[in-house]
Amino acid sequence: MTKSDLIEKVAAQLNLPKGKAELIINCIFDSMEESLKEGNRIEIRGFGSFEIRRYKAYEGRNPRTGDPVGVNPKRLPFFKVGKELKERVNAGGESVRVVKEAGESAPKKESAGGASGGRKRRADRT
């Protein structure tokens, strides 16, 4: 999903013009960016948290020449996914299992030329 996709989705859900939805999204992102620049941590319950990780200066190497190169210290944003979001994403990828109730006939098997191409797949593979 891109930023413009998000703007379109917000506009459709809230029945707003795309211009107003864009202002809302930009306001949220600008506020988050400003907070991270100030060194604050952002926590959105059920979604995740953003924080700044600080890295010290170190001496790296140019991969092409092998010469030593000094890498300056830096601060980078880091996102840690929340437990609820992780669970919802994982639940979305699970296959639905059909349980045969008493008195029902067994489901018909697909022919070798069916959607699965005759191959058997395990649903619990990751």
For CA atoms 93, 4, 11, 27, give the dihedral sign.
Answer: positive
| 4 within some domain | yes
Number of domains in the chain: 2
Other CB atoms within a 10 A radius of the CB of residue 8 amount to: 15
Using pLDDT thresholds of 50, 70 and 90, give the confidence band for residue 126. very low
Q: Is 109 within a domain?
A: no
pLDDT in tens, 25-36: 999 999 999 999
Q: What is the tens place of the pLDDT at every residue in 40-68?
A: 999 999 999 999 999 999 999 999 999 99
Tell whether 15 and 34 lie within a shared domain: yes
Whether residues 56 and 33 share a domain: the answer is: no
State the pLDDT at residue 59: 96
Quick one: 50 and 79 in the same domain? yes
45 and 9 share one domain: no
